[in-house]
Structure 1
Amino acid sequence: MAEISEDEQCNLTTTPTKISVCESTIEEKEKTECETEVECDGEGNQKDLISEIVEPPYLKTRRKSPRRPEVAASRLPHHVLIQIFQYLGMKDLQSCMLTCHCWNNALSVEDSAVWQYLVSRNVPEAALSDPFLLAELTSSKKKLRAWCFSWNANDISRNNYIRTNGFTVHRQPVAQSTDGVRGKRGVSHGVHAFDIIWEGPLGTVAVIGFATKHAALHCVGYIALLGSDEQSWGWNLVDNVLMHNSQQLGIYPKMNNPPKYEMGERIRLVIDCDKHVAYFERGSEFLGVAFSHLPPVRLFPAVCAVYGNTEVSMVYVGSPPMG
C-alpha cells in the first residue's frame, strides 16, 4: 500500500475545512436572500426593503378605496321610486305611504304607472271596458279602490253569483227565496259613499242598505231580509220603507207620495261613521238622513232581492263631496 506523504495528508485535512466554510457561506447567503424575498407584512404581502429604506412606514399614508356616496331611500327620485313600487302589492304600498312624506308624495299621483299596473293586474277587463260602470272614477287609483270594496264572491247567498266584471251580482230564478250579498270591505270610521244601480225588475222586495258581518244573507220566502234583525239596515225600493230590527221606521224620503225608483237609476248610499248616521242621494239630490245612532262597528254595503235574473251593481266612490 502506497504511503501518503505529509504534504498530501495536509491537503486532505484542510480541504474539508475549506469546503465547510464555503458551504456555510453559501447557506448564509441563501438564507439572507430567502429572508429578503419571503419577508411579508401582516396582510401576507411581501415587503419591499428598498421602499422601506426610501420611505419609512411612519411616513406612508394609507390609501382608501374609493366609495360611492350613500343615498337614502327617501331621497330617491320619484321616477326611481315608481319603478320600485311596481313590484309591491297593495298592502305593502299602503305601508309605504305611511313611511315618509317623500314616498307618500310619489304614490299620491293617482294615475302613476304603479296604480295603472295594479289596475291592469287586478280589475277585470269586463269592468274596465264597460262605458258606464266606472265612468265617474277618474283615476286608476280610484278604480283599484272601488275593486277592493266591490261585492264579495265568498260572502253571498247560494242563489247569487258575481258576474265577470266583479261589480255586479246576479240572482238566479229560484222561487220562494230571498237572497243577499255583502261587500268585500266594511267601514268603521270616516265618510264613505257607494253607488248602487238596480238593473232589472224590483219584484216584491228590493232592499239596499248595509249590515254587519253577522247579518243573514238568505231566507225562505219573500221578505225584506235586509233590516229584518238588529244586524242590518235597509231601504225597500218597492214601497219606500226603511227597515231595521224587523221594524218599519217610516216612509223614505220623508215626503208625501215619494217618487218610485226607476230601473237603472243610480242611488248613492252614504255611511258617516264619525256622526253615526247614514243617508241616500238620488243624483245630486239629498234625500235626508235615513238611519241614525249607528253602532261603532264595521258596516258593509249590502242588498237583497227576490226577482229572478235581476242584477245589482255597486261601486265604491270614496268620500262624497260636501256642500
Structure 2
Amino acid sequence: MATTAPPLHDGCEDAWSWSSTDKSHEVKVHGSRNETALFHPNWSNGTAGVRGNRVLNWGRFYWEVRLSHRVFGTSMMFGIGTRRTRLHIDEFINMLGEDDQSWGLSHKGLLWHGGTSTPFTDPFPEKQATTIGLLFDGIKGTLTYYKDGKCLGEAFTGLNSSSSELYPFVCSTAAKTEMTLDSLRRGMVSLEDRCCVTIATHLKSETEARGLLLPSMLKKNIVRECSRQSNCNSPMAHLKSPCSVT
C-alpha cells in the first residue's frame, strides 16, 4: 500500500517558536527554542493563549502541536489569528474564533470563527496524548487540520483575503496542560524562494550574506533566511540543504 507523503515534504524546515511576550500571564514558555507552552501552571480560572512568532500570510506552512496526556476541560484550541486576537480572559470560553479575528479547532471537535461553531471531527479522547497538525496555505487561503498523522480535511477558506497579518495561536482552559511545537515545515512558493533557502544553507552568517554581490531585494531575502536558519540552533556549516532544488 502506498504511503501518503507528509505535508510540505518537498519544502524545508522552518524555525519559529511561541512568543515569550505575546501570551497570557498564565502561560509559561520553555524549551531550547520556547517550543513548549505550559498553561495555568498552578490552577485555572480562565482561558489563556499564546501567539507563535511566525507571519503566515502568502506562504505555505505546516506545524504540529503535541499535546500531553492532560486533554480535558472546557476548551483546548489550535488555530490562527491576527494581533487583535485575545490572549487571556477570566472566563472559560472558546477563545480562538470568538470573533472575526481568529479561527480555531477545539478539542471537542468544533470549528470556531465569528463566534459560531461548526462540527468538524470527533471529540479528542480525554487524558490521552495526541498530535494536531495544521497546514496553512496562504496562496489558496485555506487551513487544513491533521490528527495523529491523519488528514481531517480543509477547515477554513478565504484566508488569503485577510488584510491583517496572521499568526499561529493555541489556547487552553485546562490547568497544567502543555503544547509543544514539532515538525515545522515551510513550502517553497517560487523558484526564487527555493534558491534563497539553498544559498543561505551554505553560508556561515548573516554578515556573509550581506556581502554577496546580488540585487538588494534578493540579498535581503537571503539574509532573512540566514537569520531564520540560525534560530534553529543548528550550525549552518554542518547542515545539509533542507530543500531539493531539482
Distance 1:261 1:235, change over 3 A: farther
Say whether 1:159 aligns with 2:26: yes
1:320, distance to aligned residue in structure 2 (A): 6.6
CA contact (8 A) 1:179 1:305 kept: yes
Alignment of 1:183 onto 2:47: no
The partner residue of 2:38 within 129, 145, 170 is 170
Report the Cα distance in structure 1 between the residues aligned to 2:85 and 2:116, rounded to whole angstroms: 15
What is the alpha-carbon distance in structure 2 between the residues aligned to residue 219 and residue 182 of structure 1? 15
Quote the RMSD (CA, aligned, Å): 2.2
User: How far 1:261 moved relative to its partner?
Assistant: 4.4
Aligned equivalents of 1:308, 1:284: Cα separation in 2: 26
Q: Name the count of aligned residue pairs.
A: 172
Kindly indicate which of the two structures has a greater share of residues assigned to strand. Answer: 2
Structure possessing the higher radius of gyration over alpha carbons: 1
How much does 1:204 deviate?
1.7
Judge conservation of contact 2:133–2:145 (CA < 8 Å) in 1.
yes
Q: Which range moved further: 185-194 or 295-304?
A: 295-304
How far apart are 1:316 and its partner, in Å?
5.2
The equivalent of 2:124 in structure 1 is 260
1:223 to 74, 82, 93: 93
* Cross-structure match for 2:222: none
The alpha carbon displacement at 1:304 in A equals 0.8
Q: Which amino acid letter does the alignment assign opposite residue 220 of structure 1?
A: D
Q: Could you tell me how far apart the structure 1 residues matched to 2:140 and 2:129 are?
A: 30
What is the aligned partner in structure 1 of residue 179 from structure 2? 312
Counterpart residue identity of residue 211, structure 1: G
Superimposed CA distance per residue, residues 222-250 of structure 1 (whole angstroms, 9 cap, x where no aligned partner): 0011111111111011x2110001111x2
Counterpart residue identity of residue 76, structure 2: A
Does 1:274 find its partner at 2:142?
Answer: no
Amino acid at match of 1:302: F
Return 5+ residue gaps in structure 2 as ranges. Answer: 1-8, 189-246
Aligned pairs for 1:286-301 within 5 A: 286-294=151-159, 295-296=161-162, 297-301=164-168
| Structure whose residues are more often helix by fraction | 1
Tell me by how many angstroms 1:170 deviates.
0.7
Q: In the alignment, residue 35 of structure 2 is paired with which amino acid? A: F
Residue 175 of structure 1 and its aligned partner are, at CA, apart by: 3.4
Structure 1 unaligned spans of 5+: 1-137
Contact 1:267–1:280 (CA under 8 A) maintained in structure 2: yes
| Aligned residue runs from structure 1 range 1-323, under 5 A | 142=13, 145-146=14-15, 149-165=16-32, 166-171=34-39, 172-199=41-68, 200-237=70-107, 239-248=108-117, 250-253=118-121, 258=122, 260-261=124-125, 263-294=128-159, 295-296=161-162, 297-315=164-182, 317-319=184-186
Q: Is the 8 A contact 1:173 1:307 kept in 2?
A: no
**Shift of the alpha carbon at 1:167?**
0.4
Q: 2:123 and 2:77 mapped to 1: Cα distance? A: 16
Q: 1:220 to 1:154 in 2, by over 3 A?
A: same
Separation in structure 2 between the aligned mates of residue 203 and residue 283 of structure 1, nearest angstrom:
20
Q: For residues 240 and 167 of structure 1, do their structure 2 counterparts lie closer, same or farther at Cα, with a shift above 3 Å needed?
A: same
Relative to the length of structure 1, the TM-score reads: 0.50
- Say which SS state the counterpart of residue 175 (structure 2) adopts: coil
1:151 positional shift: 0.4
Match of 1:160, as an amino acid?
A: V
Q: 1:302 to 1:261 in 2, by over 3 A?
A: farther
